[in-house]
Amino acid sequence: MNPSKSGAAIVASYADTPLRKKVLRRIRNRPTTRGAAILLGILVLLAVLAPVIAPQNPHDLASLSVMDNRLAPGSESINGMTYWLGTDAQGRDMLSAILYGLRTSLLVGLSSTVGALAIGVAAGLVAAQFGGVIDAAIMRVVDFMLGFPSILIALVLLASIGRGVDKVIIAIILVQWAQYARLMRAAALVERRKEYIEAAVNFGLPTRHIMLAHLLPNSIGSVLVVSTISIAGAITLEATLSFLGVGVPVTQPSLGLLIANGFEFLLSGEYWIAVFPGIALVLLIISLNLVGDRLRRSFNVRGS
């Protein structure tokens, strides 16, 4: 790794080679990464297909039977259905709840990452392009945000705006945009010194065009690569907030909230209510981390 060379520069130099093939080959050649990528694919597929494959709609209270509450894995319901992973305190099939929970967790993780990326990339680009007071102001805010533990910022924000899927997404965007802004600014500053930008400036192209058509596509690579791992971070944060009871609402439980619901029954030996969603969450986070880390190394990008 050559520290004097930025991630974006390396990404750019890769552009001459069939990049996609190269990265795909690297992922395929590592058994751990290949396993993680396959697992991640399965989890995403399960989440997307949840309404089709789940034995029960866990959001539909009418389909639940309180008589079936806290049944052990493999028990049968009154109407002959098998609860492969048991049921929770409301008599909800855990397998269905986990499939839907996976959906909520992924939805929050992906949309908050996209939102944070958009804001962070815009802020970093503006800071790098205009410099001076604008740059200083944006970077002071970034330093300020990064100076506080993310969990604390999100907790306090949610304490004032209340819980909800949209609100959790807002909280995670607020926590995560700053790191993207810092990365984007660094990448764009390197790119701006290059001759093609100078040529574009001398050519009299409008600043907006230079920023959007030249600077943005050439410096966003490293930020995008880092964002893969950040999805795992966003999912972890969402799960933590939901576990603490300030995240998603009870009507749309994510994996974190399912674990919180099961936690009180853990001590009485009804482990499945908390442990199975816990396993799903950890598989999701680990597979995202492994794939993201391999991507980062393949593109030779230094993390934030």
Partner 1 sequence: MTAYVLQRLIQSILVLLAVSIVVFLAVYGIGDPIELLVPPQVSAAERAAMIRRLGLDLPVLQQYLVFLGNALKGDLGRSFVHGVPAVDLILARLPATFELVLLAMSLAAVVGIPLGLLAGLNPESRPSRAIMAGTVLGFSLPSFWKGMMLVLLFSVALGWLPTAGRGETVSVLGIQTSLLTLDGLKHLVLPALNLAIPNMALMIKLVAAGTSEAMTQDYVKYARAKGVRPKRVVGRHVLRNILIPVVTVAGMEFGSLVAFSTITETVFAWPGMGKLLIDSIYQLDRPVIVAYVMLATLLFVAVNFLVDILYAALDPRVKLTGEMV
> Does 136 participate in binding partner 1 (rule CB under 8 A)?
no
Residue from the set 96, 236, 298, 300 that interacts with partner 1 by CB under 8 A = 236
Closest approach of partner 1 to the CB of residue 160, in Å: 5
Pick between residue 12 and residue 275 the one whose CB is nearest to partner 1: 275
Stretch of residues binding partner 1 (CB under 8 A), selected from 61-69, 117-125, 194-202, 267-275: 267-275
Report residue 204 CA to chain centroid gap.
40
Q: Which residues contact 304 (CB under 8 A, 6 or more apart)?
A: 179, 182, 183, 226
Token pair 């007071």: residue: 133
> Does 51 participate in binding partner 1 (rule CB under 8 A)?
no
Closest approach of partner 1 to the CB of residue 149, in Å: 4
> Does 293 participate in binding partner 1 (rule CB under 8 A)?
yes
What's the CA gap between 291 and 293, in Å, rounded?
Answer: 5
Residue from the set 246, 257, 273, 291 that interacts with partner 1 by CB under 8 A = 246
Q: Residue count at the site for partner 1 (CB under 8 A)?
A: 39
**Alpha-carbon distance values, 264 to 69, 96, 143, 247, 292 (Å):** 14, 20, 39, 18, 34
Mapping DSSP to helix (H, G, I), strand (E, B) and coil, where does residue 203 land? Answer: coil
Cβ atoms of 114 and 129 closer than 8 Å? no
What's the CA gap between 258 and 242, in Å, rounded?
Answer: 9
**Maximum Cα interatomic distance, the chain, rounded to a whole number of Å:** 77
What's the CA gap between 287 and 134, in Å, rounded?
Answer: 39
**Alpha-carbon distance values, 135 to 20, 174, 177, 258 (Å):** 34, 19, 16, 43
Residue from the set 49, 61, 72, 282 that interacts with partner 1 by CB under 8 A = 282
| Distance linking the first and last C-alpha atoms of the chain | 16
Residue from the set 158, 168, 169, 175 that interacts with partner 1 by CB under 8 A = 158
Cβ atoms of 292 and 231 closer than 8 Å? yes
Pick between residue 107 and residue 244 the one whose CB is nearest to partner 1: 244
> Does 80 participate in binding partner 1 (rule CB under 8 A)?
no
Residue from the set 266, 283, 297, 304 that interacts with partner 1 by CB under 8 A = 266
> Does 285 participate in binding partner 1 (rule CB under 8 A)?
yes
> Does 175 participate in binding partner 1 (rule CB under 8 A)?
no
| Contact positions vs partner 1 (CB under 8 A) | 143-144, 147-149, 151-152, 155-162, 232, 236, 239-240, 243-246, 256, 259, 263, 266-267, 269, 271, 274-275, 278, 281-282, 285-286, 289, 293
